[in-house]
Amino acid sequence: MTDPIVFDAAAIDWAKQDGLLAAVVQDADTLRVLMLGYMDADALAHTLATRQATFYSRSRQRRWTKGETSGNVLDVVDLRLDCDGDTVLVLARPRGPTCHLERESCFPDAPGDFLAGLDALVARREAERPAGSYTTKLFDAGVRRIAQKVGEEGVETALAAVAQDEPALLGEAADLLYHLVVLLRARGFSLQDAVAVLRARHAPAERATAG
């Protein structure tokens, strides 16, 4: 059973926006802003209870759950209240396009973390194993073969750095990054797990500099 979302609803200042709470939805993996909606107390309670992003429609004057007609729901991972208590950040994983124009985001040019998106795509490939996918073939071949590919790409990247032009180096580096993401996933890890190690290593240096 999924753990409940820990969220202090008592800290919300409902009076600021006439009983509504602005809700900025962000992709939990790529951190791309997906949409802006509004929640009343009922919509917030429904979101927390179901982990499906639910809003209050100001035009229709009723509660609505994202994807209730299209099926493109937003699976909520976490909610975080801002410093003024009148806006909530909704971290969610979309199942399908968020925008009604069938786009990933209601903000077409909203930036996001491409590597995180790639990591999420690789995770889906591992789970679904679509036929004809190179990523599927790698997972089917097993950890040893994937590790071998990482080794090969690492050598090719190093050689490109000293003996080839810039496009060749960047191409080999991209191949290395992709195969590393697949290897981590094959061992049960995500790219963010490796990033967390880097972040932990960096934290003492930051504290020392601040001191």
User: Is the whole-model pTM more than 0.85?
Assistant: no
| 202 and 119 in a common domain | yes
The residues near 84 (Cβ < 8 Å, ≥ 6 apart) are 13, 16
Q: Is 94 helix (H, G, I), strand (E, B) or coil?
A: strand
Domain harbouring 170, CATH code? 1.10.287.1080
Domains in the chain, number: 2
Confidence tier at 132 by pLDDT (50, 70, 90)? very high
Residue 207: is its pLDDT beyond 70? no
Confidence tier at 4 by pLDDT (50, 70, 90)? confident
Residue 45 lies in a domain: yes
Q: Are 122 and 139 a contacting pair, CB within 8 Å? A: no
| 118 and 206 in a common domain | yes
Confidence tier at 80 by pLDDT (50, 70, 90)? very high
Residues 137-166 pLDDT 10s: 999 999 999 999 999 999 999 999 999 999
- For helices 114-128 and 191-210, what crossing angle results, to 10°? 150
Residue 105 lies in a domain: no
- Provide the residue range defining the domain that includes 70: 9-94
Q: Is 159 helix (H, G, I), strand (E, B) or coil?
A: helix
Q: What is the mean pLDDT of residues 168-188?
A: 98
Domain boundary (45, 63, 94) is at 94
Find tokens 């309670």 and name the residue.
45
Q: Are 38 and 16 a contacting pair, CB within 8 Å? A: no
Find tokens 């993996």 and name the residue.
29
The residues near 183 (Cβ < 8 Å, ≥ 6 apart) are 143, 146, 147, 149, 150
